[in-house]
Amino acid sequence: MDRLAAACHDLVESGVCEADCCGPIPMPREFVKEREDLIAADYTDTLPEHEEFMFPVTDDLRCIFLDGVRLECLVHAERPDVCRKFGDESHAQMCCPYLRSDGTPRTKTERKQAMREASAGQKKLNSYLASQRDTKMAN
């Protein structure tokens, strides 16, 4: 496990972090199909017309492979690339508010800034995903 992943695991274990970064992401249909037994929550596919990819959205807007009780990724060893890249700080949505990309803790000021930047984008994404999920469920 790399330093960032190890530090992240420790934050979740301590109760500081609630794995909010583990939200819905587009995934290859084959990836999901091969791991059906690991799906932790019911979901709506918001891309049913797409042949190669799906965008599974749960009621709580978490990843379908996140164990909601233990806050553990059930496919961590084989997780999608976007999950592997989380924390690389290439975009506000890819920044962990608690840890820098090298796994060291952020200062209180850095944490507030990272949370502010990520929050704006996350609110827009959550609103869009919820509307897509609701539209699909109504049909």
Q: pLDDT tens digits for 87-110? A: 888 877 788 888 988 889 999 999
Higher pLDDT, 127 or 31: 31
Q: How much is the mean pLDDT over the chain?
A: 86
In the numeric block, the tokens 């976007």 are attached to: 82
Q: Rounded to two decimals, what is the model's pTM?
A: 0.76
Percent of the chain at pLDDT exceeding 70: 96
Write the DSSP assignment of the chain as a string of letters: --HHHHHHHHHHHHTS---TT-----EEHHHHHHTGGG--S--EES-TT-SSEE-EE-TT---TTEETTTTEETTGGG--HHHHHTTS-SSGGG--SSB-TTSPBPPHHHHHHHHHHHHHHHHHHHHHHHHHHHHHHH-
**Has residue 1 got a pLDDT over 70?**
no
